[in-house]
Amino acid sequence: MEPFIGVIGGSGLYEIDGLKDATWQTVETPWGAPSDAILTGTLNGTRMAFLPRHGRGHIHTPSTVPYRANIDALKRLGVTDVVSVSACGSFREDMAPGDFVIVDQFIDRTFAREKSFFGQGCVAHVSVAHPTCPRLGEAALTAARAEGITVHDGGTYLAMEGPQFSSLAESRMYREVWGCDVIGMTNMPEAKLAREAELCYASVAMITDYDSWHPAHGEVDVTDIIRTLTGNATKARNMIARLPALLSGGRAPCDHGCDRALEYAILTGPDHRDPDLVARLDAVAGRVLT
């Protein structure tokens, strides 16, 4: 199998440079419309798909992003590996604005989003003990280092609902009590849904600010964030351009089992499954439901 790399672009990242035969495709899903059309093409001979998480023009809030439709659409196109790029705040002095973090853990504090493709009539439980793919994360790390980006290998991402930024008390709790490294609003339930869809998933968090805990920086200022986002977006595009060389060639089954996450996850017996829900799961779980 050849890899098909899907990139979900966050705030500030709305395109990929250098795609050959680039086409914006509208993909219909049983979970509604994705955030936007999906840009597909090839980059250095490798198939690529790009989906702007907030839509071009940034029309979706973190809470209204259609996460299920986005992941379903990428899976439906044949994507095998998803690299999520998103803006975040930092809880660590040494993780400074402009740095990147290859996230490997999450604490999910979101509450207003649908978090699973499964439900009544077809129950499934996947493991997200290790919610990102180490192989894919390593490729993103290598690509970032090759671009001269200051990048941190590993970090815990606190996913908040938003759209408001943290209070000072919350920021201090996440940093000092919970031991989080960065904070953002969009990687959950995205990472959980990617696991349910048996997609390898890596999270690249681009730091824009120090949240509100840092005594020398005060509260989060959107003007400062936008300024940092512009520089981060350029670095992210350059990093993405290096991924095909690192991931091209025959793609073996994932060493970490991401592509087999549903193997023993579905608990509802075939005779008791809701046929309407099963039909909606055709792209996400068709491998184990047919």
| Neighbouring C-beta atoms of residue 11, cutoff 10 Å | 24
The Cα 82–Cα 194 span in angstroms is 8
Of 151-160, 206-215, 256-265, give the lowest mean pLDDT range.
206-215
| Neighbouring C-beta atoms of residue 226, cutoff 10 Å | 13
User: pLDDT tens across 197-252, in order?
Assistant: 999 999 999 999 999 898 876 666 667 777 788 888 889 999 999 999 999 877 88
User: pLDDT tens across 123-152, in order?
Assistant: 999 999 999 999 999 999 999 999 999 999
User: pLDDT tens across 26-36, in order?
Assistant: 999 999 999 99
Sign (positive/negative) of CA torsion 246, 136, 262, 290?
Answer: negative
Sign (positive/negative) of CA torsion 283, 255, 39, 161?
Answer: positive
Tell me which fold the domain 4-289 belongs to.
Rossmann fold (3.40.50)
Enumerate the β-bridge partners of residue 100.
Answer: 151, 206
The Cα 210–Cα 218 span in angstroms is 8
Q: What is the pLDDT of residue 233?
A: 87
Q: Which two tokens stand for residue 282?
A: 């055709």
Write b or e for each residue in 175-194: b if 16 or more Cβ atoms lie within 10 A of its Cβ, otherwise e: beeeebbbbbbbbbbbbbbb
Residue 94 among the catalytic residues: no
The Cα 230–Cα 223 span in angstroms is 11
Residue 209 among the catalytic residues: yes
Domain boundaries, the chain: 4-289
Question: Beta strand 100-103 with 200-209: parallel, antiparallel or unpaired?
Answer: antiparallel
Enumerate the β-bridge partners of residue 41.
Answer: 48
Q: What is the pLDDT of residue 216?
A: 75
Candidate list 99, 108, 211, 259, residue with the active-site label = 211
Candidate list 36, 104, 181, 209, residue with the active-site label = 209
